[in-house]
Structure 1
Amino acid sequence: PDSLEKDHCPPSFFVERVDITGARTLFHPQGTISIPYNQNSFVVNLAAVNYEDAHRQQFAYRFIKEGTEAWQQTGSQRNIIFNNLPPGSHRLQLKVFIKNNSWPEQIRELMIRISPPFWQTWWFILSAILLLVSAAWIMVRARIRNIEQKAAINTQLAELEMKGLHAQMNPHFIFNCLNSIKEMILQNEKKHASRYLSKFAQLIRINLEQSRQTFISVRQCINQLQLYLDMERIRLDRFEYNISISAELEVDLIQMSPMLMQPLVENAIWHGLHPLQGEKELWIRFYPAGANLICEVEDNGIGIVRSRQQKPDQRPEHQSFGLTNVRERLKVLNEKYKMKCSLVIIDKESTGENGKGTLVKLELTILNHSV
């Protein structure tokens, strides 16, 4: 009988319980165990019922990730401690075996799911990203709104400054016109005075309308100049004028500041042509040059040098009021509207230009009708 080989049966192997540190105990767990992230240390207690070779039994475990992982042996230790498992799903395999034994290894499996902390969940991360994006968008919008408000305030200030400078031109112009009307009446030129007064009223109405505008079209400027020139021809000795407009210039769309050209034309007539004996000619030109609008006023008058020599006692501020006003408005356009405007005055005789007289060149940044 002793020679008969015993029939070795595998033990009855199972997970007796899982002790979750500081929390609870799960008896005979199977399938999936869900554990919160702050209870991720636990002890797995194994049981193997074997009446023949119990003292030879050994235990081992492994976590299955990618492929087959090596077994970690615990010897005869039935209680296996796991500390600080990271959040996620862990496939835990447990086995009992006896070396050189004919019965197959007994393997049990548990799926342990450690729930992540709320700040590591997809919904929290997505919410945080959305919150950050929303906060960034609000900050950017607030910054843009602040910049837009400052730009609007600067634009309003620039418009008020431009209108103020424009308004300064009206009394200066009105004073000159009223003096002319007075002289016509004193000289008993009633017809001339009546015609002059009629055109003067039209021009005043146009100036008042334009005083409420920051920019006007080139066509409006030209119409105003024609009315002004017709009025000046009544009170002065006859002179010829020509207004030439480039075919490339969209006079109804391109904008410019009002009352920039009239002071230049007025200076050309009164300081250049009026003292001249003989034929008096005035040329006004509008043409584009790249991104700029060029406005020229040219006369064949006595020129700047001779004009100053003829009026040595005249106050400098009176002589330059119109030009000073134009330069101040160009400065506002350059500083507040980020334009590149300039005014150049050339005495043709002293600079070697052909002929006599003065050439005034006003260069403005082209603005379309949307400004």
Structure 2
Amino acid sequence: FLDDGIELRVETVTQHGKSKLLLGTTSGLWQFTDRKFEYLGALDPMLKNRITSIVTTKNDEIKVFGTKGFGVLVLTNDTAIYLNSSHGLTSNSVTSLLITGNLLWIATNNGLNCLDLTKVGTDEMRILMFSKQHGLISNEINQIAGNQEFIYIATNEGLTVFNHKDYRPVNDPPPIYINGFTVMEEDMPVRTGYSFRHNQNFISIRFTGISYREAGNLVYKYRLKGLGEDWVSTTNSQVEYAFLPSGKYHFEVMAVNSDGLMSSQPAIISFIIKPPIWKTWWFITILVLAASVLAFLFYSYRIKQIRHEAVLRNDISWYRQQSLARQMDPHFVFNTLNSIQSYIIKNDRLSSSQYLTKFSRLMRLMLNNSQQIAVPLNDEVSALNIYLELESIRFQEKFEFYLNIDPVIEPEVCYIPAFLIQPFIENSIWHGIMGIDRPGYIHVDLKLNETGNQVICTVEDNGKGRAQSMAEKALNDKNHKSLGVSIVESRLSLLNSLYGIEMKIIYTDLFDKQGNPAGTRVRINLPIIL
């Protein structure tokens, strides 16, 4: 019958009932009834594949479909059962099917298979396999036919006639032996247990199943417990494991013959790969303890360091307050106010107003700077400039002064400790210039050091010098000591300890050409505080 709307390449045709035909095609299963084609691939996904053979029992209760590459589908009235190589078929490419009594014969491109239809889907189902080892002329079968006595097997190599009633299957399972064990390509004597280092983790195991009929063509099933629980099938008689992690392993292998019989007991070999030393519990324990001790020591050190820094900061703050107290010395304040009073008595309003303005500005700068650990260089210079102006006016301009800042310094953003320079200027005035009968001068020079982390302050005067000043002190006041300078020296020592830097004071005596004292130069290294 011709239907121009349907194009089918038919592989096999089987009668179904009295008036239906089942067609196995390259596109799946079709049915032909009353001159109409009907696609049956929607009944089961398996039926959408290329169907190469269809057989049914006499009463059509069981229908069997062979496919190209997907094994066999067995359909009963209410169940569908799939059979493929995972169940024991020699291949999933089925070429022909045959039912003789209760036996289903499945021809493939890799041998012949047989099973009992009454046991399909049960735990008792067992697939028998027949190949060249059993006498077939070829494993690549094109078609089979026959009855309950003889099976005719057509191949490209010729025809095999198989009297399956005379076939006697092997009833004894094949024994299995492990006959070789290699570690890092070095043969080891075969025994039940081994212990290896962590870097001895390339393992090779050889085994052999005994079956004279199979002629060395047994199938092996093996697993390595500790790496996985699933069984793996192979026809090779050797397996290799590379880069195994540390742990306990239990290797099991069994042989399976063509009748599906499996070794009664697996061959077993066990071994241990030790962890590296850095993964052992005692090493980790020691490491944790060592880390804990180090952490505790570091914590103790940091607490001690923080406490030490706190003490240093407290001491620095105390000395800063002492420096402020020295700069706001009552004697200086009293003399300054007396000078202002004298201008007022003389009715010199302009001078008294200017003097008072400068004095109040100096007090405000000192109080503002006293609240800070470090102050901008600009503020410190402003306070020094006002102080020198007040002292110069008070001593009737007995000396001149100069303040010079290196142009590379940005005084607004360069922070230094407060109240460190003024005591040295005060020393120059009181112990240097006040003792001479010539015009005096004080030069203050500020510049950066080579590394840029310190300001070098130089205070130079043309006074009577340190030697004469100390001699006069010894005669007039043996117990007098310049507290302002000693406070500055103590602060610098504390800052050295706190910031880990080297700040020092260098005194240089100046002489004229005749070798007479001509003044003093003091160099102070001031830290730049970020």
Please report the TM-score for the alignment, with normalisation by the length of structure 2: 0.45
User: Which stretch shifts more, 243-252 or 150-159?
Assistant: 150-159
Residue equivalent to 1:34: none
Question: Matches of 1:194 and 1:313 in 2, distance apart?
Answer: 40
2:409 is matched by which residue type in structure 1? L
* Cα deviation, residue 139, structure 1: 7.9
Question: Matches of 1:353 and 1:283 in 2, distance apart?
Answer: 21
Superimposed CA distance per residue, residues 287-343 of structure 1 (whole angstroms, 9 cap, x where no aligned partner): 112233210000111111222334444435534211111111111111222221100
8 Å contact 2:465–2:510 — kept in the other structure? yes
Relative distance call for 1:144 and 1:312 in structure 2 (3 A) is closer
Residue equivalent to 2:377: 218
2:400 is matched by which residue type in structure 1? E
2:87 corresponds to 1:87: no
* Cα deviation, residue 88, structure 1: 2.7
Residue equivalent to 1:346: 508
1:275 is matched by which residue type in structure 2? G
Question: Matches of 2:337 and 2:528 in 1, distance apart?
Answer: 40
Question: Matches of 2:377 and 2:332 in 1, distance apart?
Answer: 24
Question: Matches of 1:256 and 1:49 in 2, distance apart?
Answer: 102
Q: Larger Cα Rg: Structure 1 or Structure 2?
A: 2
Relative distance call for 1:132 and 1:319 in structure 2 (3 A) is closer
2:442 corresponds to 1:326: no
Relative distance call for 1:364 and 1:172 in structure 2 (3 A) is closer
Superimposed CA distance per residue, residues 221-253 of structure 1 (whole angstroms, 9 cap, x where no aligned partner): 111111111111121131211111111223223
Question: Matches of 1:216 and 1:63 in 2, distance apart?
Answer: 87
1:178 is matched by which residue type in structure 2? V
User: Which stretch shifts more, 87-96 or 336-345?
Assistant: 87-96
Residue equivalent to 1:289: 449
Question: Matches of 1:112 and 1:341 in 2, distance apart?
Answer: 79
Matches within 5 A, 1:9-48: none
2:404 corresponds to 1:249: no
Root-mean-square deviation (Å) = 4.6
Please report the TM-score for the alignment, with normalisation by the length of structure 1: 0.62
2:249 is matched by which residue type in structure 1? G
8 Å contact 1:89–1:111 — kept in the other structure? no
* Cα deviation, residue 136, structure 1: 8.8
Give the match's secondary structure for 2:361. helix
Q: Which structure has greater strand proportion?
A: 2
8 Å contact 1:64–1:92 — kept in the other structure? no
In structure 2, the gaps of 5 or more residues are 1-169, 182-202, 211-225, 227-246
- Aligned residue pairs total 290
Which of 178, 181, 198 does residue 333 from structure 2 map onto? 178
In structure 1, the gaps of 5 or more residues are 1-47, 51-56, 74-84, 97-102
Residue equivalent to 1:10: none
Residue equivalent to 2:178: 62
Question: Matches of 2:377 and 2:525 in 1, distance apart?
Answer: 13
Relative distance call for 1:304 and 1:63 in structure 2 (3 A) is same
Which of 467, 471, 495 does residue 305 from structure 1 map onto? 467
Question: Matches of 1:228 and 1:342 in 2, distance apart?
Answer: 24
Residue equivalent to 1:21: none
Matches within 5 A, 1:185-200: 190=345, 191=348, 195-200=354-359
Q: Which structure has greater helix proportion?
A: 1
User: Which stretch shifts more, 145-154 or 299-308?
Assistant: 145-154
Question: Matches of 1:355 and 1:208 in 2, distance apart?
Answer: 37
Give the match's secondary structure for 1:87. strand
Q: Percent identity?
A: 21
Give the match's secondary structure for 2:458. strand
User: Which stretch shifts more, 57-66 or 317-326?
Assistant: 57-66
8 Å contact 1:237–1:274 — kept in the other structure? no
Superimposed CA distance per residue, residues 78-105 of structure 1 (whole angstroms, 9 cap, x where no aligned partner): xxxxxxx983351323699xxxxxx99x
Question: Matches of 1:293 and 1:353 in 2, distance apart?
Answer: 31
Question: Matches of 1:232 and 1:319 in 2, distance apart?
Answer: 21
Give the match's secondary structure for 2:456. strand
Relative distance call for 1:300 and 1:199 in structure 2 (3 A) is same
Which of 265, 279, 297 does residue 439 from structure 2 map onto? 279
Question: Matches of 1:225 and 1:219 in 2, distance apart?
Answer: 10
Relative distance call for 1:258 and 1:144 in structure 2 (3 A) is same
8 Å contact 2:444–2:460 — kept in the other structure? yes
Relative distance call for 1:361 and 1:94 in structure 2 (3 A) is same
* Cα deviation, residue 268, structure 1: 0.7
2:251 is matched by which residue type in structure 1? H
Relative distance call for 1:212 and 1:154 in structure 2 (3 A) is farther
1:207 is matched by which residue type in structure 2? M
Residue equivalent to 2:190: none
Relative distance call for 1:200 and 1:188 in structure 2 (3 A) is closer
Residue equivalent to 1:237: 396
Superimposed CA distance per residue, residues 204-228 of structure 1 (whole angstroms, 9 cap, x where no aligned partner): 2222222222212222211111111
Question: Matches of 1:317 and 1:72 in 2, distance apart?
Answer: 111
Relative distance call for 1:87 and 1:170 in structure 2 (3 A) is closer
8 Å contact 1:60–1:95 — kept in the other structure? no
